[in-house]
Amino acid sequence: MDSNATLNQMLFRMEEVFWHELSDCAPWKTEYVGIDFIQSQDIKGANEQEIIASCIERIKAAGLADEIDFAISGKGILLKLRIRGCRLMLKETLLRKSGIKPYSCPIANMIRDQLIEKLGYETTYLADLAADEASGTCALKVAVYATPEKVGEVSDWSKE
């Protein structure tokens, strides 16, 4: 078995046990997974676009994913990510096969962390993770709140 498969199986087991222990609280407890890597990188940028692009460049250079696209919409509080060729897709497949909807994405955690660290965002969270094993693509919706005034703002993301 290759080392990437072994890593995916270890992360799967951890997330599976965590889910059975904490259910819907598990995602909040895994938001720091992956941030040590991105904090060790020299992420630069003066705004969302630049910070996110810098994160993506480093994530791809490390071989964690082949392609990552992003868009900000929904009154500026919705960050949509599309990740292709993610080295953690097997983890998502194993979770789904065990009856658990994938709920944690280290790549999203990295980007969220840098929005908070570099731009002083108030808070962020992973709102949805849709993993498509057949195409090797994950579509993520991340809530990003730059200021306390933005927290609680509502946008109909189904129309985005």
pLDDT, one tens digit per residue, over 71-95 is 999 888 899 999 999 999 999 999 9
The confidence score (pLDDT) of residue 155 equals 75
- Domains in the chain and their CATH numbers? 3-159 (3.30.1380)
Q: 98-104, long-range: CB within 8 Å, 24+ apart, which pairs?
A: 98/12, 98/16, 100/15, 100/16, 100/19, 101/129, 102/129, 102/131, 103/15, 103/19, 103/26, 103/27, 103/30, 103/129, 104/15, 104/26, 104/27, 104/30, 104/31, 104/33, 104/129
Is 157 a residue whose pLDDT tops 90? no
The confidence score (pLDDT) of residue 29 equals 86
> What does the pLDDT average to over 123-152?
92
The confidence score (pLDDT) of residue 144 equals 93
Is 1 a residue whose pLDDT tops 70? no
> What does the pLDDT average to over 125-153?
92
